[in-house]
Amino acid sequence: MNKLFRRFKKNKLIKNIMIIVTGTALAQLVSLLIAPILSRIYTPEDFGIFGTIMSFAAVFTSFASFKYDQAQVIEEDKKSASDLFYLSLICIFLTSIFAIFFFTISNYFELFTSLDDYKFILFLIILLNSIFLTFQFRLTSQSVFKIISQSTVVQRLSVVTVQLFLGVLGVTNLGLVLGQLIGLISSLIFILLFANQYFPKASFNWHSTVAVAAKHYRFVKFSAPQNFLNSVSQNLPVFLLGYYFGLEVAGAYFFAVRIIKIPVTLMGQALRQVIFKDLANKKNDVAVVLMSFKRITFGLFLISIPFVGLFWFYSNELFTSIFGNEWRTAGEYSKYMVLWLAMGLINPPAASILTIFNLQHIALTIDIILLVLRAISLVIGGLYLEPVMTIAIFSFVGVIMNIIVITSAYLPLKTRFDNSHKQKMLKY
């Protein structure tokens, strides 16, 4: 037993995962403890507006850096990695200008009028969240997981403190969104104070930046559109449920997503950051990558079973007893949503494989199909079905497509392994 524990302690992958998980666990624990209070201060309609704002922010953030921030992790040359950092910030600046243009046009055509009082805050959230993600990928490339973990805790504590404080004061129209904004500012300040030494010190060079942008063209050609489409398809329910059934239904859905994502984020985000770095380091040994992929994916599937079972059988009781009778419908939605959201816990190895081995075109194709199917399910549900059945169909579509993602990562990896094995056999 002692020998096993020593091996466990020395395993760098497990150690890094535990560092991230610890910070994420604390952050999510804070969210879970405060949620029953927030659910009694803010109404489903308040969460509907907040959900719409955060959905727009997520869509813009998904492509703001053109995904060059992610390329930092797999770039082996330090100077090129620094160029990618600067390039990501330039792309974020350009996307922010586009966001201003988009919201100006939307005002002219009187679109999204429910967000008129929040558009400047929404712009700031898009800008700061994109920068925060770029900082996190920079620290991931340097394997500075402790700072990433701590910044997550700082952000969550700031968010819930402001949301709770403003809610108690009765500022329910702005409390949720201002809390999110202050949380982002706090986490960025924390990173700049305690991890400044890990950021590039070299001056910006335009020619080398253009060269590294061309080298990693697949990220802007495939990863950025794929991330954008995936984000649109994930946030589509908030937009369309709000359109067909009203902000109260959209708010109940968004609140249910937040609650279910607490345990999913606890492991999923940590695994996504650490596994991506670990598999990228091993990419030259296909056999090791294949073995790690199968072992980790199956392990995550086993972990997800009790989580899915809990929400499937007891979601209504959990939501009404913890968050109040006003959130019973959110519990009904979560019964089906947990099937789809649990896939976020299982698929990080597959998502990493598709990026590391330059298979972004596969991920892009899958996300185009996923967006179309999700849009169809929501429109048909909005026209002919009740909200519960609409969300159930939407969730089943997500489960099926995530299974396809995992399969699409495994098959090319298995083919690479078989080909390399045959070549080795021919040498003998």
Which has the closest alpha carbon to 203: 293, 310, 86? 86
Can you tell me whether residue 386 is helix, strand or coil?
A: coil
pLDDT of residue 273: 64
Q: How confident is the model at residue 38 (pLDDT cuts 50, 70, 90)?
A: very high
Among 44-53, 98-107, 174-183, name the one with the lowest average pLDDT: 98-107
Which has the closest alpha carbon to 23: 198, 154, 182, 138? 154
Instruction: Indicate the average pLDDT of the chain.
Output: 86
Write out pLDDT tens, residues 364-384: 888 899 999 999 999 999 999
Looking at residues 284-295, what average pLDDT do you find? 82
Among 12-26, 115-129, 224-238, 250-264, name the one with the lowest average pLDDT: 12-26
Can you tell me whether residue 161 is helix, strand or coil?
A: helix
Show Cβ contacts of residue 275 under 8 Å, excluding neighbours closer than 6 positions: 13, 17, 296, 348, 349, 352
Whether the pLDDT of residue 4 is over 50: the answer is: no
DSSP 46-114: HHHHHHHHHHHHHHHHTTTTTTHHHHHHH---HHHHHHHHHHHHHHHHHHHHHHHHHHHHHHHTT-SGG
Whether the pLDDT of residue 325 is over 80: the answer is: yes
Among 6-20, 291-305, 353-367, name the one with the lowest average pLDDT: 6-20
Looking at residues 119-125, what average pLDDT do you find? 91
Q: Which residue has the tokens 């098959």?
A: 411
